[in-house]
Amino acid sequence: MTKIRVRIPATTANMGPGFDTLGMALRLYNEIEVEEIDGQTEIYNGGLKSEKDFKDNLIYESIVKTMDEQKYPYRGFKINVVRCDIPICRGLGSSSACIVGGIAAANAIMGNRMNLEDMIDLAVKIEGHPDNVVPAALGGMLVSLKAGGKVKYSRVTVPDELKFAAMIPSFQINTDFSRKVLPNTYLKEDCIFNISRSAMLISALYNSEFDKLRICFGDKVHQPYRKNLIKNSEAIFKRSRELGSIGEFISGSGSTLMAVLDKNTDEFVESMKGFLDELEDNWNVILLEPDLEGVKIDI
């Protein structure tokens, strides 16, 4: 049987005002291997067999939904998570990596029946919103939306000078729970606040107007409500500003916090590590760059 190896990047979504629409792939990866077998599906993590029910595995679920949609007959699979660098439930697209990886592996097994647009449409159908799965599939930063049952997307230029410091805590935040803390209605002025900043964020990135970025990452749709779920978020953002960041935002639904840097990146990371070590939870900080390739398949 053919063994498919897939590498999927982490993603950061929302990026301030771009709730469920803006996302960017990052150079932090999961890798999976998938092959068809005649028996029951087996799940492995780093070569060690998982005791959990394979039917609850999101990679397996995505493979099966892909093949069911294409009416491709299957029996079972051997799925091995070879590399798992994307932390779970931290706002860095771990579920999107499973979905995009599963769809890409299934499509390769089927002989590439689906084109890229079909794969993206299915990924969004499984995930529910496009801001993580589209950059995971394509790489780079994108603005994405659903229209008429199809996903539309456009690339956003990210200047090469920009780096992203991810402050990742030991505690998780469930995406479904984090959505429940959001209000059902918003004031008109709050909507205008976000629309203006989303538009200017894309323009400021394109024109390398770094002095505008902190204003552009402002948000009144999700961050004011979710920051209360992330202990010490205000203190970490304040320290980021003191250390020279040019913008900060909650990555996805949290719990990861992101600081945008244009210089002195090593000094920022070193100083931030010292600050985070003083907090009650275990925090780590890693410096990331945009991934421009998206999902990669090796047969």
Q: Please state the residue numbers annotated as binding site.
A: 87-97
Hey, is 23 helix, strand or coil? strand
Q: How far apart are CA 141 and CA 20, in angstroms?
A: 13
Q: Positive or negative, the Cα torsion across 95, 34, 25, 29?
A: positive
Length of the chain: 299
Binding residues for ATP: 87-97
Of the candidates 8, 15, 19, 16, the one whose C-alpha atom is nearest the C-alpha of residue 58 is: 8
C-alpha distances (whole Å) from 244 to each of 20, 113, 164, 237, 260 are 28, 48, 12, 11, 9
> Residue 232 CB: number of other CB atoms within 10 A?
19
List strand residue ranges (DSSP E) for the chain, in order: 3-13, 22-37, 42-45, 48-49, 76-84, 141-147, 150-156, 163-169, 247-250, 257-261, 283-288, 296-298
